[in-house]
Amino acid sequence: MPTMTYRQAVTEAIATEMRKDDSIVFFGEDVAKAGGVFKVTPGIYEEFGPLRVRDTPISEQAIIGAALGAAITGLRPVAELMFADFIPVAMDQIVNQVAKYRFMSGGQFTVPLTIRASQGAGGGFGTQHSQCAESWLMNFPGLKVVAPSTPADMYGLLRAAIRDDDPVIVLEHKSLYNLVGEVDLNAAPEALGTAEVIRRGEDITLVATQQMLHRALEAADKLAEEGIKPEVIDLRTLVPLDGATILRSVQRTSRLIIVEEAPRLGGWGASVAALVADEGLFYLDAPIKRVNMENALIAYSPVLEDEIIPNAQKIEKAVRQLLS
C-alpha cells in the first residue's frame, strides 16, 4: 500500500470521488489555484477546472448558504471552512437549515453536503484558531460529525461523507496534516459511526480522537514497559457514536479513561461517560476518569499552549491513579 500524509489523504479522497461523480463540486476560501491555506488540496483545481472548484469570499455564511442551495438542487458539494473556530459564524445555516432541511421538507429533499474544517491546537495559532468543534455540533440532530485520526481513516471517512445523502461535518486536525501512514487506495469508503480498537489491552480502556489518540498511544507504549496493558479506542466518528465498541472494551478492562482536547465542561467525553454509566455501570471496578484540556483559553505561546493540552505524561498519571 502507498504511504501518504494526512494532508494528501484529503486530496486523494476528494479527487477520487470527483472522478466518479460529476455532481460533486468543491469550494471555499483559496481552495482553487492556491490549493488551500494549509496546502491540503493542491491539484484539484487543475484537474477539475473552474466550474467544479471555486474560490469564495471570506464569508462562512455565504459558503454554507451556497452549499445548502447547491445540495438541494442536485449537486453534491464539498464546502471548506478554513478554521473550525469560525463554524459559529455560520451556525444558523448549519443547525437551523442544513441539519433540518430534509426533515422540514418531509423527505422531499436530501442534503448531500460535506463541510470540511481544520481544528485543534498544537501549532501556535492562538485562541481564535485552535479550538475543537465536535462538542458544539453533537447536540443538533441531522448532522453527522467525523474526526479522522490517521491518513487511512481520512481517506476512507471523507469519501464516505461525500457519498452520504445527509450532511456530514469532517473535522481535520491541523497538527496531523504531516502525519504519514499507509492508505489502501482500493479500499471501500469507511462506514460512518464505527469506532476502532487501535491497541488491544486488558487493564484499562482509553478512548480518544485525533491528536489525543496519538498521545494516548504514546502513553500506552510507556505504560507497557511497566507491565500495564491499556486498550486504546479511536472513536473516528462522534455522530453516530459507536457505543457498542466502547462498552465491549470496558466490559473486558473494567476501567475507563476518556482523553479529550477540549475543556471538560460540556465536552463529548461527558456523553461517553454517561453512556458507560448508564449501560455499563456494573462492568466498572473504578470511577470513570476524564483527561481534558484545562479550562483556559489557548495561548499563542508554545509553552502556555503545551501546558493546558493533555499529553502522554498526563494520561500516564491518570492511568496509574485509576489502577491504584
What is this structure's pTM? Answer: 0.96
Domain boundary among 182, 204, 225: 182
User: Does some domain include residue 189?
Assistant: no
The backbone torsions φ and ψ at residue 260, rounded to the nearest 5 degrees and listed phi first, read -140, 130
Measure the CA–CA gap between 178 and 176, rounded to whole angstroms.
Answer: 5
**pLDDT over 70, % of the chain:** 100
In the structure grid, which three cell numbers stand for residue 43, read together? 491539484
Mark whether 173 is an active-site residue: no
Same domain, 211 and 156: no
Q: pLDDT (tens digit, 9 = 90+) per residue, 46-100?
A: 999 999 999 999 999 999 999 999 999 999 999 999 999 999 999 999 999 999 9
Measure the CA–CA gap between 193 and 146, rounded to whole angstroms.
Answer: 8
Domain boundary among 129, 150, 182: 182
Measure the CA–CA gap between 294 and 221, rounded to whole angstroms.
Answer: 24
Measure the CA–CA gap between 25 and 67, rounded to whole angstroms.
Answer: 9
Q: How confident is the model at residue 182 (pLDDT cuts 50, 70, 90)?
A: very high
Q: pLDDT (tens digit, 9 = 90+) per residue, 196-226?
A: 999 999 999 999 999 999 999 999 999 999 9
Same domain, 228 and 133: no
Measure the CA–CA gap between 149 and 119, rounded to whole angstroms.
Answer: 12
Q: pLDDT (tens digit, 9 = 90+) per residue, 125-163?
A: 999 999 999 999 999 999 999 999 999 999 999 999 999
User: Does some domain include residue 275?
Assistant: yes
Q: Name the catalytic one among 129, 144, 214, 236.
A: 129
Same domain, 93 and 213: no
State the average pLDDT for the chain: 97
Same domain, 53 and 127: yes
Same domain, 13 and 72: yes
Count of domains for the chain: 2
Residue with grid cell 470511577, as numbered in its chain: 287
What number of other Cβ atoms are within 10 A of residue 303's Cβ? 7
Same domain, 12 and 70: yes
CATH number, domain containing residue 235: 3.40.50.920
User: Does some domain include residue 286?
Assistant: yes
Same domain, 169 and 51: yes
Measure the CA–CA gap between 124 and 309, rounded to whole angstroms.
Answer: 12
At residue 159, the pLDDT reads 98
* Inter-residue contact 4 to 12 (CB < 8 Å): yes
Q: Is the pLDDT of residue 123 over 90?
A: no
**H or E element at residue 33:** none
Range of the domain at 280: 196-323
User: Does some domain include residue 191?
Assistant: no
At residue 294, the pLDDT reads 87
Mean pLDDT of 42-46: 96
Same domain, 67 and 103: yes
